[in-house]
Amino acid sequence: MEACHSHCHNHDINDENAKKTLFVIIITVLTMIAEIVFGHISNSMALLSDGWHMGTHALALSVTFTAFIMIKKFKDSELFPNGTGKISPFAGFISAIFLATTGIFVLFESVTRFFNPIEIGFNTAILVAIIGLVVNGACLLVMQTKNSEKDYNYKAAYLHILTDALTSVFAIIALLAGKYFGLYFLDPVMGLLGGYLILRWSICLIKETSLILLDIKTKGHSHPDEHNHCFSH
């Protein structure tokens, strides 16, 4: 009876997280389109990096959603004789690769803007960046849960949204400083900072999921989940 209760409880959590993820995907895609379009119009690197960052998140979130579907569909399948336990960390690993790619792209583009600065349309860029932050904040509230501490698939999705919110904050700071104080260099600087954090967190996630996928025991711990420094929310 206890095993059945645990299985049913995990099944409910999986369905709940899948619904939350699908909702966030829709919101993310809509906001991504707005930020990329207005980022080009306003010539803001901070806003463009935020928009493209959201684009990779939409793709990574789709991987997350697909993983939830696979876990549900193949939970009793002979295709997975050892269970579907590794689908979640595998999806998290793939999402981390997307995240790392985004970080490298943002770093490259930000460095380029130092040598080739262009005029920024601050009013439009600030407005859309604020909208992006509000959307990301709402998505974080939707995805917040205490029942997914060992679900690397869901943690990866949460991290994507968290980095989106952070880059939105950086974009707003850079744009306001540029508009009111003439500190135009802060736009690429914030892009560099955002890119660094994105890359750092993605590498951390890659390491954590790799340990699970390769069945590597961490020193003094039987499983990476017992000694997880990367994620806590």
Position 207 scores a pLDDT of: 92
Burial of residue 114 (CB within 10 Å: 0-12, 13-18, 19+) is: middle
Q: Answer whether 176's CB lies under 8 Å from 155's CB.
A: no
Rounded mean pLDDT, 64-78: 85
Tens-place pLDDT, residues 17-43: 888 888 888 988 888 888 788 877 877
Task: Choose from 51-55, 98-102, 203-207, 229-233 the range with maximum mean pLDDT.
Answer: 203-207
The full DSSP string for 21-50 is HHHHHHHHHHHHHHHHHHHHHHT-HHHHHH
Determine what percent of the chain is predicted with pLDDT higher than 90: 13
Q: What is the pTM of this model?
A: 0.72
Question: How far apart are alpha carbons 54 and 168 in whole angstroms?
Answer: 10
d(CA 129, CA 112): 21
Section 83-102 average pLDDT? 87
Tokens read off for 92: 């998290």
| Domains of the chain, earliest start first | 2-75+84-227 (1.20.1510.10)
Taking CA atoms, 92 is separated from 70, 73, 111, in Å, by 14, 18, 29
Using H for helix, E for strand and C for coil, what is the string for 144-183? Answer: CCCCCCCCHHHHHHHHHHHHHHHHHHHHHHHHHHHHHHCC
Q: Quick one: CA dihedral 59, 135, 35, 200, positive or negative?
A: negative
* pLDDT reading at 227 higher than 60: no
pLDDT over threshold 50, residue 232: no
Between 160 and 149, where is the model more confident? 160
Q: Please tell me the predicted confidence (pLDDT) of residue 11.
A: 58
Residue 78 has pLDDT above 60, yes or no: yes
